[in-house]
Structure formats: C-alpha cells, structure tokens
Amino acid sequence: MRKLVKGERGRVYALFAIVMLASAFGNLSQTAVNAMMPEIMGEFALDVSLGQWLTTSYMLVLGIAVPAATFLGKRFTTRQHVFIALAFFLVGALADCLASNFAVLLAGRICQAVSTGLLLPLMQTIAMTRFPEGRRATAMGIAGIAMGFAPNIGPTVGGAFSFSFGWRSFFVLLLAGVVVLGVATALLVRGGEGNRSERFDTLSFMLSALGFGGLLLGFSEASSFALTSPFVWGPLVAGAVFLVLFVQRQKRVDDPLINMDIFKSGQYTVGFAVLCLLHASFMGVTLVIPLYVEGPCGGTALDAGIVLLPGTLAALFLNPLAGVLTDRFGIRPVTLASGALLAVGSVLMVFLDEETPLAVTTFCQAVRAFGVSGLMGPLISWSLAGLPGRIVTDGSSFSIAGRQACASLGTSVMVLLIALAGTSAAAASNPALPYQLAFAFSAVFAVATFVGIVAKVR
C-alpha cells in the first residue's frame, strides 16, 4: 500500500481520504440510528423520551468536542490526531456492537461523537492548508460528501442493515471500516512534529462545553417542552452566558482554546453568518418531510424515502462539482446559482398540501437539496480562506460548533411549529398547515441565506 502513495501530493491525498472517510462514518452513524430506533427501543424496553438520547447526546457531544480539535491539532502530530480520533470511534463502535444494556450503548454513541468532533475540523484544515490554492474549494467539495451526503443517506443505510441483519450489524460495519482506516493511517500517514509546549486550557474547554452544550440542549428540548419551561430557557440562558464568558476568556489567555482573531477577518465573519443561516434552514427539513409525507399525505416510510432520495444522491456528485466550479470560476457565480435554487425550492415547499402529488414534493425537495449541495463546500472554503493558516483550525472548529447550534435551533423550531399548529382549529380544515408553517420557517432562512450571498459573498 505504501508504494501506491508517492511524493508529498500522494501523502496529502491519502491523509485527506482517510480523514474524510472517518468523518463520513461519524456523520453516517449520527443519523443512521434514527431508522434503527424502533428495534433498539424494543430490545432494551425503552420509551421514546429515553431512546431519543441516542441521537440528542450525539449532537451535544459532537458540538462540545469540536473546540478540543484545535488543541489536538497544535499539541500532537496529524498522525497522532487521527489515531486518537480513530481510537475513540473504535471503542464506541465495539461498545455498541456488544452492548448488553442502554448505558453501554449510549457510552458507545458518545465515544463516536467525540471522534467525529475531533475529525471534522481536521478534515477542513487539511483541505485549506495542505492543498494548493486553486484546489481548495475542490477539496472542500469532496469533504462535502462527509458533511452532506453521509448524514442524509444514514437513515437509509441504518434502516437497511437493521431490517436485513439486525441493528448491531451496522456497528459491525463501522468497526470493520475504522480498523481498515487505522491500518491505512499506520502505513500511509507520516509522523511530523507537534508542539509539546502547547497548554490545554481546561477552564476554556469547560466554558465552551457548557456554552455550546447549553444552547444545543435548550434548542433540542424546545421541541418537547413549552418555551416557558425551565428545561428550555434554563439551558439556553446558561449556554449564552457561558459562551460569552468563553469568548471573553479566549481574548485574555496566552493559549486560547479557539483564537478569536478569526473574527477580525470580514470574509470569515460573513461566511460564518451565512453558513449558520443555511444550517438553520435546511437541517430540520429532512425531519419534517417524512412527517409531512406520512401524515397529511397518507404516505409510507418508503414514500418519504423516495422523496428525499434524489436530493441525497445528487449531493454525492454536486458537492465535488460545486468545488471544481468554484476553483475555476470563483465563489460568486456558484453560490448565486446555488442560493437561488435553495430559495426557490424552499419557497415552493410552503405551498405543498395534502393534495400535492409526491412527484411535485420530490421535485421541490430536490431543487432545495441541489442548492444546499452547491453552497456547503464553496462557502466553507471561502470563509476559511480569509484566515491566516495558523488559525484555520480555530475558525473551522468554531464554525462547526456554531452551525451545529443553528441546525438544532432550526430543527427544534420546525418541530415546535408543527406541534403548536397541529392543535389549532385551523389545522382541522387544513391538515397540511403545521407543515406549511415549518416549511415557511425554513424558507425565511433560505431567502436570508441568498440575500447574504448577494450582498456580501464575492
């Protein structure tokens, strides 16, 4: 295998492929459990409120772990960084394969989330610092397969394995995959040098964990409790306070966990804001569409999967293509065209009702998904390109954590709108109204994303 990788370029490609595939496994695992939940709940006699922590905890821990990736990137070599992340994933997948109770299964999920949180910033940093300037958007577009395609196809893969071989078989697949990647890392990735003097600021990490964790938990609970519930506003207020304290501390200490100089770059700041709007718009729709298809439309789970499938499969090709086009023609034409698709597709979905043919719903969702696929990689690479190389990892980590929080916000608000409108008198005469309101929320943020691109992305 070592002979296949010749020269510095080959080693960079091998490293990037390993980290991208490992990140894809992590994002695949994040959503695949959704489809396996009924079988898992049945085996361990769980109710829905307890079972949903298998997905909620993953999102929370991933967001908390991401900032720690900056420290690993400075303190350890890239090879060591990859091995640490793969070790977490290996332990997690093994625990889930052998889990005899819910606690072990949950612990395995947490280990996998830590691994994913450590890998995603590294993947983006490699794309932005190890590839030549004219290839960075292409690299980030390929990385979009891990960030966009893998989580979208996760429920399909998880459902297929759960139905055919039992839910544990999915974690056997992950276990085999991470072993192969570990061997590839040992053979193909060089050691390099880390900065042994780098200090881990424990207080900064605790403030970050409480800040991002509080926001993610509060947004998640908003779909289950009233906004006036302390289970919602308590974590949100605490998270906001701790996040402010975290940012203030990063400006004072000599070894910040995340260097806040990232926001001295106007390009990064604009990219960060637009990406947060994008994630608030699109993440929740993948949850709302199955509810809409199987609810007022009277469809099946298979129908819902078919509606989502074209956009999901297109992401496999459109993410890399958008990167190639960005490197060739620049960021503006690609993001303008993709942003327009996102806005148009999202607005069209507001007018869907129970009489709308599924083919029309599939078309609207596909247009929206095409726009998302064309925006993700180019916007991430453009925003990080505005940073000096030494703080690219900092920018990547903070951006991922922020996007996670906004995705959680968007999803929770859409679910909350469905719950509130579903009990109204208007919903009795218009069963699709709750879903139209959720789609309208998504459309507002989609249009805001497009406006931000028109005004600021050049």
Per-domain residue ranges for the chain? 1-191, 200-254, 258-457
pLDDT at res. 427: 74
Tell me if 367 sits within 8 A of 344, measured CB to CB: yes
CATH fold, domain 1-191, is Growth Hormone; Chain: A; (1.20.1250)
Handedness of CA 115, 120, 121, 125 (dihedral sign): positive
Give the DSSP letter of residue 433.
H
Handedness of CA 343, 287, 93, 112 (dihedral sign): positive
Place 46 in a pLDDT band, splitting at 50, 70 and 90. confident
pLDDT at res. 399: 93
Average pLDDT of span 400-417: 86
Tell me if 185 sits within 8 A of 122, measured CB to CB: no
The Cα 187–Cα 202 span in angstroms is 34
The Cα 173–Cα 105 span in angstroms is 16
Second CATH level (architecture) for the domain 258-457: Up-down Bundle (1.20)
pLDDT at res. 203: 93
pLDDT at res. 223: 67
pLDDT at res. 333: 97
Give the DSSP letter of residue 424.
S
Average pLDDT, the chain: 89
Place 282 in a pLDDT band, splitting at 50, 70 and 90. confident
pTM: 0.88
Q: Which amino acid is at 290?
A: P
Q: Do domains 1-191 and 258-457 have the same CATH topology?
A: yes
